[in-house]
Amino acid sequence: MNFAFVRGSFLIRSQNISKIGTELFSTYLIPFELLSLILVAAIIGVMYIAWEERR
């Protein structure tokens, strides 16, 4: 068997996760909220279309 090996560390670094959270909820708060509203609207739209096709 031939396996591909990836070099590097796969350890989760808590500082990186903390930085992502800080950036997401400070610098990118407005785009994050807009994206969440678009996703909710898309989910509701899909549910509406599926409900109408079922009737």
Structure tokens at 37: 């509203």
- The verdict on residue 3 lying in a domain is no
Per-residue b or e along 25-34, where b marks 16 or more CB atoms closer than 10 Å to that residue's CB:
eeeeeeeeee
Average pLDDT, the chain: 82
Structural domains of the chain, count: 1
- The verdict on residue 6 lying in a domain is no
Chain centroid to CA 51: how far? 26
- The verdict on residue 46 lying in a domain is yes
- The verdict on residue 30 lying in a domain is yes
9 pLDDT exceeds 70? no
1 pLDDT exceeds 60? no
- The verdict on residue 35 lying in a domain is yes
Quote the domain boundaries for residue 43: 24-54
For the chain, give percent helix, strand, coil, nearest 5: 65, 0, 35
Q: Is 8 left (phi over 0), alpha (psi -120 to 50) or beta?
A: left
- The verdict on residue 36 lying in a domain is yes
